[in-house]
Amino acid sequence: MLILLAPLSGANAEPLTARAANPATAEVSLASRAPALGDSCPRAKPEDIKGLCSYICDKKRDKKNGNETYPFRYQSHLFKIACTSRDDPEEVMNQKIQAFWKKHQSMLQCDALNFNVNNGDLIKYGVNNYFDEFILDVTLWGVDLNKIDPADGKTVLDYVKEEMEKKKGTALEASLKGYYHQLRKYGAKHRKDLPASP
């Protein structure tokens, strides 16, 4: 059953799932079941990722599959390429999405004229488009929020903080603060707070 969360910045947010457990559980270990689930799913094509970027940009609702489970096109598209569906138990669904994210992390980039990071991280692109529902979904799915983006050398939390400074005193500042707190709640960190690479 879909549970709608409070919006991050006043919009009618419609996350795909909601998790009743402690946010710390968002960092689900992929060491056991998730890799096996991911291995059974064909590797996504570059055009699949471009489609995901496009749906995040236009925030298009899914009229064909639109219902409580797939209100937006990015949701139905991601479910398809991650080999999951609304018939999967929530735990399995999250694990499949986590496995997809891990398997394709180097591909999850968007390049657009309206994006201030060339070939930047997909989650940053969601922030750039002020897409509340997408930010809620990625935190609830438990995907990696601490990727150091090779495009700018920063994590998504670093990016949000910088954007907050740029938009300080504007109407967009509240949205960015909402993203910052949501991401931190589910384990996102600044690069300076991450363990040093071996």
What digits encode the pLDDT tens for the residues 106-165?
A: 999 999 999 999 999 999 999 999 999 999 999 999 999 999 999 999 999 999 999 999
Apex CA 162: angle with CA 161 and CA 166, to 5°? 120
Indicate the pLDDT class of residue 179, thresholds 50, 70 and 90.
very high
Q: What is the pLDDT of residue 196?
A: 82
Alpha carbons 118 and 123: distance in angstroms, whole number:
13
DSSP 69-116: S--BHHHHHHHHHTT--TTS-HHHHHHHHHHHHHHTGGG-EE--TT-S
Domain ranges of the chain: 43-188
Most confident option among 2-6, 14-18, 52-56: 52-56
pLDDT higher for 99 or 198? 99
Asked if 56 and 122 count as a contact pair (C-beta separation under 8 A), the reply is yes
